[in-house]
Structures are given as C-alpha cells and as structure tokens.
Structure 1
Amino acid sequence: MANIFIGGAWPYANGSLHLGRVASLLPGDVLARYFRAKGDNVLYVSGSDCHGTPVAVQAIREGVEPGHIAGHYHREFADGFKQLGFTYDLYTRTDQRFHHEVVQELFRKLLEQGYLYSRTVQQTYCETDARFLPDRYVEGICPVCAKQARGDQCDHCSTLLDPADLLERTCGICGNPPVERPTEHYYFALSRFQNELAGYASQAAAGWRENAVQLTRRYLEEGLRDRAATRDLSWGVDVPLPGFEHKKIYVWIEAVSGYLSASKQWASETGGRWEPFWLDGERDITAYYVHGKDNVPFHTLIWPAFLLGAGGLHLPDRIISCEYMTLEGKKFSTSRNWAVWLPYMLSRYEPDSIRYFLIANGPEKRILIFRGGNSFTATTENCSAPSATS
C-alpha cells in the first residue's frame, strides 16, 4: 500500500474563490478519490492563506482588522469546498498557533544549517502611507516584457522580480511613487541549491506538467537568486529572533510550509502519523502538489530547497500546475476583481455540473469565458482533461 500525499495550493483569504482557482485545485480531489479507491494510504491537505499582503491591504481598504477579512473568507472557502464535494483530510488556515510554531521551527532549522543570513537592504517605502511596501504592492513595468507587473512576479512572462527591478514604480495602495529606505532582513540562500535543484528537476520532471518543466528550466538557466525571508509587516508569523520583533516571516516561505504544518496538525487532531508521508526513510511515498501556473517556482524550486535545507523530508514528485483561466481575454484576478466567482456559480448550478465542466475542459491550456448580459458561456482552446496519474 503506497503513501500518497496530496497538497492543494492555499488560496488567499482576501476575496471569494473564483472558477480559475477552483479549476486549479479540483485535480487534487480527483487524485485523492482515485487513490483511496485503489486502497492506498492518502493524506490530502490544504487551507486558507490568511496572512498574505492581499489580506492586509483589503483590511486597510475596509477599515477592519486583517483577521476579520481572513476569517470571513476562510469560512466561505471551507463552505464552498464542502458544497463542491472536496474530500480534504484537513482544510485549515495559516493564522493559528499550530501553523506559526511549525513555520518558526522550520525557520530556526534553516538558520542553524546556515541557509538564512541577515543583511541591510534598500526596501521600497511609501511616504504617503508611511509604510514599507510588500513586494506584491509595488507596481510598475516589467523589465523583461515591458508589461504592467507587480514587484514579486510578472503575470505576463512569469519572471520572478524584486521591486527594484520594476520601471516606473508606484505604490499599489495609493498610486504615488515610492522611495527607498534601509532595513535589515534575513535572506534565504536559494542560490546555494542551484546544482542540487537542477539535478532534482531533471529527474522529477517526468512527473510534472509541461508548463512546470519549461518554467523551472528557465529559472535554473537564468540562475537562482537569494530571496528575502522576512519583511516589515504587521500581519503574519513573527520572526522568532531578538531584534526582529516587528518583522514577519515572508508569506512565500510561510504559505508553502503550510503543507507540512497541516500534515502535522492532522496527525495531532486525529492520532494519525504524518511521518509516512514526509520522511525520506519511509517507503513508497508519492507527493502530489496541485496549483496554478503562477505558483510553479514556489513548488518546483523554493519549497524543494526548504526541504533540502531542513534535511530528511520528501521532495515533490508530481507537479499538477494548471494554466490560467481567462474572462474576455484577461486572466482571472481576485485583487483586480476580474473573475467568475464560485458563490455566484453555486447559487445557479449543481456542484457536480461545475465539477464536470472544469474537469472535462481543463484548463490544461486555456478556458475562455465570455460574458453576455446575465449569462456566461465558455469555449476551450487546446484543452485536455486532467489525468489521475499525470
């Protein structure tokens, strides 16, 4: 009997789920049902990403605490997944003590192993809002494709960015040009894993979708860069070090660590064992990670680097990375309020009809949705149905 771990990406709790997010996560439930039917030992986990910058900024706009926003959408997500028949063994959330402790433990381990180091850097600061800006809320022109981008990643060409890379930068909250101010942060030495990750990717890529293979190859060819591991934020997981009390662990570290924290939480709550799904000494482990195209580097490079740095933990085997869903030619986006929302669809269609449409059509390449009056119709281009073993 094989041990099958399935991790579904953690949606930001800053707005309702849209069909693009559901489409990217649904293959995980198909896999879980398939392997349980085979008699395998399955652990299927996910949760709401309650700490990200989108949550904090949404709270600012509504004049409430971030926990209020996160709690509201977490409950909505959990109910939506339940209505759709998702069979998570645990669907949890990141803004709770159990998750914080696991993330801080991993942070300390990486520090002890020498993979985290501190340095003073110039970080983007908005004088109008009197705050350091998280990378996602610095906007400008991508230096690679010359299209509008955010300071963490370009949605058009998938380049991983730093805010300093952007041209014509503006604050994503107020729209004014930001300045640079010095601040001390910890950085994760991702570059030290270049050769090891290249070897890993060359072997594991046989179990990945083509978009994951191509994007990962591109990042490796460009050369991996060290990435900030902490940020000047008020909402998130505390940095467990003296002198950093007012800083938080960067959400891109924290969110992917949720796969491990959710597994340990499941074991704690049920009396089960998380070790058979995670420890390299265990036999017959296959780990599936199910997410959208925008999350590829975090699952094929950054999360494997954390696991290698911590030591003894099983790396991803299968990367199920769905393509984007578009509405009238533009990519779905919660922060830009451009999508077809799950609550809307559930109020009008049976859950099994929604599941069937999304599974039958992809979006392995692309689903195009057109809006006319009060109705929605969809067409597909070069799509293929997800496979339980792809």
Structure 2
Amino acid sequence: MLRQRPFTVAYLAEAQSIAGDQLARIALSVLVFDRTNSAGATALTYALTFLPAILGGVLAARVGDRHSRRAVMVGCDVARAALFALMAIGGLPLWVLGTLLVVAVFLGPVFAASEVSYLAAVLDPERFRVGTGLRLMTSQVAQVGGFAVGGVIISFLNPRGGLLVDAATYAVSAVAIGLLLPAPPRATPTTPLAEHAAERPVPWSNRSLLWSRLRVRRLIALCWLAGFFVIPEGLAVPFAAEIHATTTQAGLLLAAVPLGGAIGAIALVRTAGGATRETIAARMAIAAGLPLLVTAFEPPWGVALLAWAVSGALAAYQVEVNSLIVNRLPAARRSQLLGIIGAGLVGAQGIGVVASGVLADWWGAGMAVAVGGLAGSVVAAAVRWGPALRRPPRGVAVPAIIRDGDDSPYERGSQPEDQAIAGSSAN
C-alpha cells in the first residue's frame, strides 16, 4: 500500500494529525482544569472534542461531493491549524476557547468523508480494503501513543505549547495534501435517469440510498455497534479502582482495546477471503462483547487486560464493514452519506459511554462493562440473523441506477431484494 502515492500521502498526513489530536485533548483538559479547578468543566471540554462531529457529519459532509475533495481536505486542515493556533493564545475566555474547539471538531467529519471518498475513487476495492485496515491499525496506535506521551510533552511545553503542536500537524497535513496528493476525478452530483423516474415512489434521497438495501442496512448497524464496544475505554479508570489496580495499570487497561484493535486489523486483512468477509465481520461483531463478561466478576488486572485486548481485536471487524459500506455507496453522493454514517457512529459511541456511566453508578463499572458487552453481542446477533432488518422501510424502492459493490444491479422494489439476499451465504 505504501507504494501507492495517493494512499501514502493521505495516510501519513492523517497519522500525525491523529497523534496531535490526542495531545490537544490532554492540553485542553489540563488548561481548563488549571483555570477552573472544576472536573465538570474539564469533562465538558473533553466531550466537546467529539460531540460537534455529529453535526459536522450530517450538515457539512456533502461539501466533498460538490467540490474537489482534495481542495476540501486542504481547506479543512488550514482552518483547523488556524483554530488550534488561536486556542493557544493566552488569556482567552473559556467561552471563546470552547467556540473555537467546536468549530474545529465540526470540520473533522467533512475532512474524513472527503478523504475516504477520495481514496475509494483512486484505489481499487481490494487495495481500499487493505488501506482501511492499515489506517485503522495506525489510528489505534497513534491514539495510544498520543495519550501515552502526551502528558510528558505537556509537562515540557505547557498546554498552549501542546495546542501549537496540534496546529502544526494540521499545517503539515495541508501542505502534504495540497502539494503531493494527485488530483482525483471530480465527482459530479447525479440525478435519476428519466426512464427510471416513474419506478421510484419516493424522491432520490439519503433515506432511499442508505435504507433501501438489506446489506447496507446491516452493515451500517454493525458499524454503529461500536457504541457498545467502546464502553471499556470510558470506564477503564473506575474499573481499575474497583479491582485496586495502580494508575499505570489503569493506563494499560485504557490502551488494551485500541492495541487489540490494531492486532485484529492486521490479522483480518491478511486472512479474510473475498466471499466470506461479510460473514466473518458479522461473527466477529457477535463475539466482540463476550470477553467483556469476565469483568462482572472483578478479575485480576492481567485477566481483564487480556479480555479487553481480545474484545478490541474482535471489534476490528469494522475494517470489513467500513470498506464494504464505502464500496456500496454511489461515488457522487459518497461524502455526504459517509458523513451521515459517521455522525451516527459518533452518536452511538457517546450514548454508549454516557449510558454505561449511569449504569456504573448503580451496579459498578465492572458490571456495566459486562452488560454493555453482552448487549452488543446480542444486538449483533439480531442484526445478523434476526427479522428486524429483513424488510426495507415502507414505500421505499431501490434506485435502479445504483449498483452494489459486486457490480450487480440493485433490484427494483423490496421483494426481489429480499429473495436475492436471503439466498446469499455472504449475508
């Protein structure tokens, strides 16, 4: 993959930006806590590094379908570099700091949707799949590394210095993408062909593109199951306190899930066969929550560490799910649709962490992690075999000109689709 110039440029630019983002999260948390001495204000600031991404994915990701995706990526990075540099100015009121942060995070899904759409356009499906696995693995490692060394860097640079480092990573990314990334073919919005207009009982909409197709509905549902499997990261510190683990051990627990994910991504990309990928991904999703059941019994720290790492490795099924989703979306609408899916993913993760925190106050962190893992596995099984996703929404017909990832035409109407999918072992 690293011999593919478009992928290499985007990959390296993204990796160093992710590490900078983890550094910025620590810097902002330290900066706000030093000024307010309030845990609530610190938690709110940390939440602001995620939540605006929901609105960005829904409202602005379509920009990548209307303009050059390379130009959109450069523009997002330039804007974020400027915003984080402004945050480093001393004496800014907290409301100004929060506003700058919200705008910066809002731009994240716009960049991500354009980047994925660009890579899907310039890489063949198999290389895109391998690249997705490598990007996920690197993202996990960069998060762990950013958190691991972030505290040390902040102690030397101070929080404002950390924010400037993050601004510099975005500037580097903008320069690399602007100068080194080849210009892709520009995607132009499409409209339904006239001869198919009478066959569609609903408008050409995001609803029909995302929910008309059984395979796409299932893949999106599997993607959003990350809301269950992110719970260990949200409760790592309170769970470590319950089992009397040290601060260092709590940090290693926090790193276990992303490290397991990196290992799982490598194994999945290297071993999964073409026709079985979707089945393997679904089975991994069903199994991903089961190792977390041991936390209900407050096991020794080493046992919990291993269980969380195994769960993270199984949760790497997202590699297959993400690549399958991207290859089943129409290129001209891909950025917008990926933005909507990404917004749902961020929302699912936020809801999962908040709900598990409430449950932990009642039953303890270990039980909350176990319940979340069990719920994730049960829902994954329902997505894989249950009847809930068997029928498309009432009145929605599949647009006739959109094709599936294997280049077979979408069937018109719901009945042919269900018959075709029911007979496919890949589902």
- Same fold per superposition (TM over 0.5): no
More helix by share: 2
Query: TM-score, normalised to structure 1's length?
Result: 0.27
Higher RCO, 1 or 2 (CA under 8 Å, sep at least 6)?
2
Structure with the bigger percentage of strand: 1
User: Could you state the TM-score of these two structures normalised by the residue count of structure 2?
Assistant: 0.25
The structure that has the greater radius of gyration is 2
